[in-house]
Amino acid sequence: MIRKFRKTDIMLIVAVIAALTVSIGYWLKADRSINKADVEAFIQDQNLDHVLIHQVDKSLYYIFGEDVIYAFKDKQHFSKSGYDHKDDVVFGGLIKGAMGLVINDPEIMKQANLYTLTIDGTTRKYNYGGEKYLVIADERIWNPSPQFQLSFYDAEGTELYHQE
């Protein structure tokens, strides 16, 4: 005997399939998130001392060491950049959608209150609070050939630093 499905039966089946799909997607995404214990284990594996950890989201942490910047997603997926303290502003940990900065210039750290990031002719403004270690999260940032302009400004609008 052949059974006919009613509209309510079909709608119930579609709702169950949709709920399962959402649940599986959530489980897969949650499985890829990292936590502080993962970050601490990575720091210990890399033998790092005196680090600053900056969490960008559930799957990305920036780890700033004395002369290195890591963009850490997990033990197999991380970016490592060494840097020289002589540079005024150091770029590192460049990945799709983010980069780390180390500000070594005391004038920028004391006087700047704003920075701009220009990519593809579009400028976005960000508040700056004098941080030595800074992460810029912007979906327009792309590796391996980043093309951007970064400028820091004081309260009067005077440009303190510019990098192309």
Q: Kindly report, residue by residue over 78-97, the tens digit of the pLDDT.
A: 889 988 888 899 989 888 88
As a dihedral over the C-alpha atoms of residue 126, residue 72, residue 86, residue 131, rounded to 10 degrees, the angle is 40
CB 52 within 8 A of CB 93: no
Classify each residue of 49-84 as buried b or exposed e, where b means 16 or more C-beta atoms within 10 Å of its C-beta. Answer: eebeebebeeebbbbbbeebbbbbbeeeebbebebe
- Residue 9 is predicted with a pLDDT of 67
The burial of 115, by beta-carbon neighbours within 10 Å (0-12 exposed, 13-18 middle, 19 or more buried), is given as buried
In angstroms, the Cα distances linking 107 to 73, 90, 91, 160 are 33, 15, 18, 8
Q: What is the pTM of this model?
A: 0.73
Which strands make up the sheet holding 122-127, listed edge to edge? Answer: 122-127, 112-119, 149-154, 159-163
- Residue 53 is predicted with a pLDDT of 92
Count of CB atoms within 10 A of residue 130's CB? 13
- Residue 106 is predicted with a pLDDT of 95
Classified as helix, coil or strand, 77 is strand
Compute the mean pLDDT over every residue in the chain, rounded to the nearest whole number. 85
If pLDDT is split at 50, 70 and 90, which confidence band does 99 have?
Answer: very high
- Residue 32 is predicted with a pLDDT of 56
- The DSSP call for residue 50 is S
Classify each residue of 8-40 as buried b or exposed e, where b means 16 or more C-beta atoms within 10 Å of its C-beta. Answer: eeeeeeeeeeeeeeeeeeeeeeeeeebeeeebe
